[in-house]
Amino acid sequence: MHDGNKITINDVARAAGVSKGTVDRVLHNRGEVSARSRERILKVVEELGYRPNLYASILATKKNFHISCIIPEFNDGEFWELTEKGIEIGREYAGRFGISIGATLYDQYDLDSFQAACAEVMASGPSGVIIAPMFRNETLKFVKELSEKQIPYVYIDSKLEDDGYLAYFGMPMYQSGYLCADILTDGRDVRKVHVIRIERDKRGLSDPTITRRTGLVDYISEHYPDCRVENTFIDPKNTELRYRTLDKMFEDDPDPDKYIVMCNSRVHFIADYLRDRGIRTCRVVGFDVLERNLYALRDGYVQALIAQHSDRQAASAITAITDYLILHEAPAKKDNYTQMDILNKYNCDYYI
Amino acid sequence: MHDGNKITINDVARAAGVSKGTVDRVLHNRGEVSARSRERILKVVEELGYRPNLYASILATKKNFHISCIIPEFNDGEFWELTEKGIEIGREYAGRFGISIGATLYDQYDLDSFQAACAEVMASGPSGVIIAPMFRNETLKFVKELSEKQIPYVYIDSKLEDDGYLAYFGMPMYQSGYLCADILTDGRDVRKVHVIRIERDKRGLSDPTITRRTGLVDYISEHYPDCRVENTFIDPKNTELRYRTLDKMFEDDPDPDKYIVMCNSRVHFIADYLRDRGIRTCRVVGFDVLERNLYALRDGYVQALIAQHSDRQAASAITAITDYLILHEAPAKKDNYTQMDILNKYNCDYYI
DNA sequence: CTGAAAGCGCTAACAA
DNA sequence: TTGTTAGCGCTTTCAG
């Protein structure tokens, strides 16, 4: 009952009337093999249901695969920290197959830094690359070079419109905005929604949350045609300025029951403000499971968080490349949209 | 940069001035080794940072590990189908390490069938067992025997209070009921909650959702002390009877805005009824991602579903045993409470 | 108590 | 175009 499928390359060779060297050649498309042998071997492989033994294979090939991950740098408790945890999981998996994993971080607000990261990775001659693309053009150039060198790459978090990637793991951004609007409005009589945004540097960086905001706005105009969506820009670095901006927002619109949303991971800024001002009348929804966001959720200053397992995304990316390297198998699906998790104070403690 | 840690058992043997046979003996505590050799070898292993090569090890040991899964049988679209999908994922993983996976199904309403399944598995001499325990006493007897035979086992779905299991993967049941009540009531003015239950056979089977119901009731009495919780029992097999029961429920309580909940995976029964009767005024919450439940969710007859990745639970269980068998490593956490997913019509399509 | 040696299934270099 | 062969690092007899 247990196993039995012990068909080796030798069995195949014998049944096909050739040597195992020849079998190996057709299995890996290396060297010239007569059409006749190839056919026979393929047929036998099929009939016998031959499955190569990975360990034997890995043992025999002394190749040293290395996968490089290119992601934004981060401080403790920030969004990309979770991704790094996923890399750690992936590292463990890949390590079993003798594959090492490296991470090269870049400043997501600095193009030069991104270029430097790409150059460094390229120079190291990686067997595969995982990349979170924040700079469109630069990334396209980079992946083009990877393609030319036959180096497989997978996108995480967001992806670009090229076609050469092995796989993509990320959240459906538009839908996440749509969902967010649904949770925010929650069937109530909503007249106005406040979208709080981060003041961005002007240097034309791609903002990955823009699609999300579109989903949000679409939901509102479809379900609440009379509802106004108002944008307020806050400064992420200057607390005092931020508080002034929010104070003004509350003055301008005296209705205490506000519907507030942020499309990135910094909703804790709002929670902190509300806590300090002692305002408990707002309904606030944000994204991602930063520790500070969870704190706000438990505390009741944020009602819901929409989250994604960016750790799993990274781990899956590594698994995908690993499997590709070892088994020469592309992942079942190229585009993998991971689930959108709705967190509130009652289920957030069981997340992660 | 890439790898490098290429210290083999030969290096250790040479450095310790013994043969690799002796090194192997102390590494695996097999056979007698002089204290002096043992010490020397251990020291060298430490100094050189020797890490055994898994593939070589697995290749050389022709052991045929086999893991047996004992779960309830099911029809298409039922709860346990998802678990089986997870077993499939796990099978792929374990297969890479030459470990085969078997599934033995039992009738969850028939003790004899469960006993037979356990006996069958035991007789087959498994290397590890994964079990979804529906019958408490029988399971305890079974796992006791496993423990005696040093066969590792892990619980999925629910667990018992014994201590010998290698790991557990499942949902926090009490909290899921609590969460469910929160989503059902949703801050509204709720006066009555209808809990629909399945008429159970009287034969003292353990009902795994009882804890969940406790959580539900606790939430209500804590947050809605004046709210009544009313139980209605329906027949899962007899549609006509079921409809009569529900008709009566609607007659007895003429308020059209009802709050209805089911603590198991069969909330589609309610949705079907409401659809047939054209009732759209109720708020309905249920559990688990059966296809029929998703249908009701998209359709609007069920507002929310609380789900768990029982596929991942099963897959994780297999991974845990596999790693234990190969690496002799117990999982990082023994009790693994998986997250509770809140699904509505906007995020359910990205689940699974 | 210990060493030598024969593989495990596969790869890759070398002959033919 | 194909067969032969020497390992990869580890386990497991079998002598001694």
Q: Which chain B residues are within 8 Å of A216, Cβ to Cβ?
A: none
Whole-angstrom Cα distance, residue B138 to residue A152? 51
Whole-angstrom Cα distance, residue A206 to residue A199? 13
Phi, psi of A349 (to 5 degrees): -75, -10
Note whether B9-52 and B66-170+310-338 share their fold.
no
Q: A29-81, pLDDT tens digit by residue?
A: 887 889 898 999 999 999 988 888 888 888 888 778 999 999 999 999 999 99
Superfamily per CATH, domain B9-52: lambda repressor-like DNA-binding domains (1.10.260.40)
Core vs surface per residue B130-162: b (16+ CB within 10 A) or e: bbbbbbeebbeebbeebeeeebbbbbbbbbbee
Q: Is the pLDDT of residue A7 over 60?
A: yes
Closest by alpha carbon to B128, among B102, B108, B106, B107?
Answer: B102
Chain-centroid distance, C-alpha B213: 19
Q: B140-152, pLDDT tens digit by residue?
A: 999 999 999 999 9
Query: What pLDDT is stored for residue B245 in this prediction?
Result: 96
- Residue A72's DSSP bridge partners are A106
Q: Which chain A residues are within 8 Å of B322, Cβ to Cβ?
A: none
DSSP assignment of A213-279: HHHHHHHHHHH-TT-EEEEEEE-SS-HHHHHHHHHHHHHHS--SS-EEEESSS-THHHHHHHHHHT-
Contact B100 A64 (CB under 8 A): no
Phi, psi of A62 (to 5 degrees): -90, 25
Q: DSSP code of A77? A: T
Whole-angstrom Cα distance, residue B250 to residue B232? 11
Q: A249-295, pLDDT tens digit by residue?
A: 999 988 889 999 999 999 999 999 999 999 999 999 999 999 999 99
Whole-angstrom Cα distance, residue A64 to residue B85? 34
Q: Are A344 and A284 in contact (CB under 8 A)?
A: no
Superfamily per CATH, domain A173-307: Response regulator (3.40.50.2300)
Q: B213-244, pLDDT tens digit by residue?
A: 999 999 999 999 999 999 999 999 999 999 99
Q: Where are the domains of chain B?
A: 9-52, 66-170+310-338, 173-307
Q: Which one has a higher pLDDT value, B299 or B59?
A: B299
Q: DSSP code of A348? A: G
Q: A182-229, pLDDT tens digit by residue?
A: 999 999 999 999 999 998 765 556 777 899 999 999 999 999 999 999
CATH architecture of A66-170+310-338: 3-Layer(aba) Sandwich (3.40)
Nearest to B2 among A58, A66, A340 (CB): A66
Mean of the per-residue pLDDT values for chain A? Answer: 92
Q: B100-111, pLDDT tens digit by residue?
A: 999 999 998 889
Q: Which chain A residues are within 8 Å of B342, Cβ to Cβ?
A: 341-344, 347
pLDDT band at B3 (very low <50, low <70, confident <90, very high): very low
A125: number of Cβ within 10 Å? 12
Contact B59 A66 (CB under 8 A): no
Q: Are A297 and A351 in contact (CB under 8 A)?
A: no
- Sole residue written with tokens 């929604």: A193
Whole-angstrom Cα distance, residue A105 to residue A102? 10
Closest by alpha carbon to B307, among B282, B259, B342, B273?
Answer: B342
Nearest to B58 among A55, A347, A351 (CB): A55
Q: Tally the residues of chain A.
A: 352
Query: What pLDDT is stored for residue B157 in this prediction?
Result: 95
Through-space separation of residue B100 CA and nucleotide D6 C1' in angstroms: 32
Query: What pLDDT is stored for residue A1 in this prediction?
Result: 32
With 0-12 / 13-18 / 19 or more C-beta atoms within 10 angstroms meaning exposed / middle / buried, residue B217 is middle
Contact B346 A182 (CB under 8 A): yes
